Structure 1
Amino acid sequence: MAATAGSSLTIASICFKPNQAFNRFSSSNTVSVSFNSRSFPSLKVKAPRFHVACQAKPETVEKVCSIVRKQLALADDAAVTGESKFAALGADSLDTVEIVMGLEEEFGISVEEESAQSIATVQDAADLIEKLISA
């Protein structure tokens, strides 16, 4: 990691492989690192958090998009991406439950109620599916 005299931060590479030790500290595939001026006095960037997230395979995201379109009766050409929020697509809480049930059926998984409540976007759902399938 190198900091320049300006306000930029360059990171050459980050290699992260989840393992058993990591799983003891976090149940998700997300790592957050905080930087402050005490840790790096020469770094004057106002970026309080550095966020790394492991994302699902593109084919999983596309399957989830398809299920969401079907459950919400959206047109086949409706813009649904990983960043799409269920609420923005017109889903209410009952629709979200039906989407989760459709995902469980399609992928042969069981989603706990607590996990289901944390799903707000297509990407959230796809990431959870990948996590459940790999477990």
Structure 2
Amino acid sequence: MASVTAASTSTRSRPCPMALAIKPVTGFSQGRSNLSFTIRPSPARLRFSCLAQPKTVERVCGIVKKQLSLGDAETLTAATKFTELGADSLDTVEIVMGLEEEFGITLAEEKAQTIATIEQAADAIEELLKEKNDN
């Protein structure tokens, strides 16, 4: 009787939240194998981070809190969307105007319309400040 060995497979290099483990084959019975599969959760290996400086993110959070009249108890992160805070399109325009005033920059209308999170706002500000300092 022939013997078969199985190798275990891992998806560690893939950004997949699940991993597949193959248990070794123990023998054959009437043409069928005793191969079993187990799907187990794998920890996420992708991390997203804001490109902007933490100080810039903090200032943006302060402006957003001020424009939306949020209390100090409200916790904001870089991933916080303006819509999650109850902001409509007019509120978003006011936030962008507050950011322009605070940082002494002017955002292009096309760029301002794409800003939906604190991270996007902070990244756009950092980009404009870098261009301003390079000139």
TM-score interval, normalised by the smaller of the two chains: 0.5 to 0.7
Alignment of 1:1-20 (within 5 A): 6-9=10-13
CA distance in 2, matches of 1:72, 1:118: 19
1:106 aligns with 2:110: no
Q: In structure 2, what is the equivalent of residue 84 of structure 1?
A: 80
Q: For residues 91 and 78 of structure 1, do their structure 2 counterparts lie closer, same or farther at Cα, with a shift above 3 Å needed?
A: same
Structure 1's unaligned 5+ residue stretches are 11-49
Alignment of 1:54-73 (within 5 A): 55-73=51-69
Using the aligned pairs only, state the percent identity: 57
Q: In structure 2, what is the equivalent of residue 21 of structure 1?
A: none
Q: For residues 51 and 83 of structure 1, do their structure 2 counterparts lie closer, same or farther at Cα, with a shift above 3 Å needed?
A: closer
How does the TM-score come out when normalised to structure 1? 0.63
Structure 2's unaligned 5+ residue stretches are 1-8, 15-45
Q: Which amino acid aligns with 2:99?
A: L
SS in 1 for 2:60: helix
How does the TM-score come out when normalised to structure 2? 0.63
Q: Which amino acid aligns with 1:107?
A: F
Question: Number of residues paired by the alignment?
Answer: 93
The alpha carbon displacement at 1:51 in A equals 9.1
